[in-house]
A = this chain, B = another copy of it.
Amino acid sequence: MRFFSDNAAAACPEVMKALDEANRIDTAYDGDAWSARLDDAFSRLFETQVRALWVTTGTAANSLALAALCPPHGSIVCHRDAHIQNDECGAPEFYTHGAKLLLAEGAGAKLTPETVEALLATVRNDVHQVQPHALSITQATEYGLVYTPDEVAALGRLCEERGLGFHMDGARFANAAARLGCAPADLTWRAGVRALSFGFVKNGGLSAEALIFFDTKLADATLYRRKRAGHLLSKGRYLAAQLLAMLKDDAWLRNARAANDAAARLAAAAGERLVLPVEANELFLKVTPQEAAALRARGFDFYAWGPGEARLVTSWDSDSAHVEALAEAISAL
């Protein structure tokens, strides 16, 4: 009974069916019929004209977005615990040709205008220091918190004032949107976001993520950067088809809600053990080593997360019996 990571989940039926349907000859790269529909499909979802590019990983989406927003001699503000800082092996530095990540603080891996301003205040405005050009936040955060539209917009205003490009790493954007029940537009471009890494793989996709440019002119150079990074798959239709299948009838929201619901069930059982509120599909629990071992002995797999903590992640296909069993096991600790 695995609660390691939503990365490990299977692909959802809609996606597998889409692969089968796309399995016929078409034009190579992104010249196919499926890829041609992406801009429109995402523009409808976001209620504005966007450019949408498929890529195979969130790391690639994030790095391409950051390269579009920050020159090599600039810096990118992000949280100290951000995925782009800790879990991408320097991919942002590779794609931006050496831009620096500036690390801001905030509980639950969440940035606020105050913590960002405090960091910016430490940067001298001279050529001896890399100057900030972009801000990147993670939605939901690495600790499973969500930014509300107002919170995003407050950071968006700061970006506007400071001339920073605003990127959202939406590896779990679906879980945040499902939680908040608001329009995707409210969480993004209406709040100042210029580029979004829109995650699908953790949410039931097989190998397709979407890179969405609300600042559409940024897409032009990114097409070259994507190819130059070896990310223009020759049979791109299989990626586009996955994305279209998950947009259709809001499968992406349905999947995210399932994962969130499973997490909520566990959160209810965890009660006082919760390190942070559970707002998406990740839980961080206080457990002693003995308690962790007891859970593992009963067949539950999960990551230890610092001393005395465990991380549990649910996914679109979390087995309800497993979830129930884990909830009971946690309650019984």
> Which A residues contact B (CB, under 8 angstroms)?
2, 4-5, 7-11, 16, 19-20, 23-29, 55-63, 71-73, 75, 86-91, 93-101, 127-131, 201-202, 206-207, 221, 223-235, 238-239, 317
A57-B230, A127-B224, A130-B89 are contacts. A28–B11 as well, Cβ < 8 Å? no
Is A232's CB under 8 angstroms from B59's CB? yes
Chain B proximity of A227: nearest CB distance (Å) = 4
Q: How far, in whole Å, are A224 and B89 apart by their CA atoms in the complex?
A: 7
> Which B-chain residue is minimally distant from A13 (CB atoms)?
B23
Is B73's CB under 8 angstroms from A89's CB? yes
Is B93's CB under 8 angstroms from A99's CB? yes
A5-B28, A27-B8, A28-B7 are contacts. A90–B73 as well, Cβ < 8 Å? yes
Is A230's CB under 8 angstroms from B97's CB? no
Question: A23: which B residues are within 8 A, CB to CB?
Answer: 10-11, 16, 206
Q: How far, in whole Å, are A239 and B238 apart by their CA atoms in the complex?
A: 13
Is B24's CB under 8 angstroms from A10's CB? yes
Question: A7: which B residues are within 8 A, CB to CB?
Answer: 28-29, 234-235
Q: How far, in whole Å, are A131 and B220 apart by their CA atoms in the complex?
A: 12
Is A221's CB under 8 angstroms from B10's CB? no
Is B94's CB under 8 angstroms from A60's CB? no
Q: How far, in whole Å, are A99 and B58 apart by their CA atoms in the complex?
A: 21
The count of identical subunits is 4
Q: How far, in whole Å, are A28 and B58 apart by their CA atoms in the complex?
A: 14
A73-B224, A201-B235, A230-B55 are contacts. A128–B88 as well, Cβ < 8 Å? yes
Question: A238: which B residues are within 8 A, CB to CB?
Answer: 11, 206-207
Question: A101: which B residues are within 8 A, CB to CB?
Answer: 100
Q: How far, in whole Å, are A29 and B75 apart by their CA atoms in the complex?
A: 22
Q: How far, in whole Å, are A25 and B313 apart by their CA atoms in the complex?
A: 13
Question: A27: which B residues are within 8 A, CB to CB?
Answer: 4, 8
Q: How far, in whole Å, are A317 and B24 apart by their CA atoms in the complex?
A: 10
A19-B16, A97-B72, A98-B94 are contacts. A230–B231 as well, Cβ < 8 Å? yes
Question: A16: which B residues are within 8 A, CB to CB?
Answer: 19-20, 23
Is B221's CB under 8 angstroms from A73's CB? yes
A-B pairs with lowest CB-CB distance, top 5:
A60-B230, A93-B98, A7-B28, A59-B230, A7-B234
Is B88's CB under 8 angstroms from A228's CB? yes
Could you jot down 30 A-B contacts, CB within 8 Å?
A4-B28, A5-B28, A8-B26, A8-B28, A10-B25, A11-B23, A11-B238, A16-B19, A25-B317, A57-B234, A60-B230, A72-B90, A72-B97, A88-B228, A88-B230, A89-B127, A89-B128, A89-B224, A90-B100, A91-B228, A91-B230, A93-B98, A94-B228, A95-B230, A96-B98, A100-B101, A131-B224, A201-B235, A202-B234, A207-B235
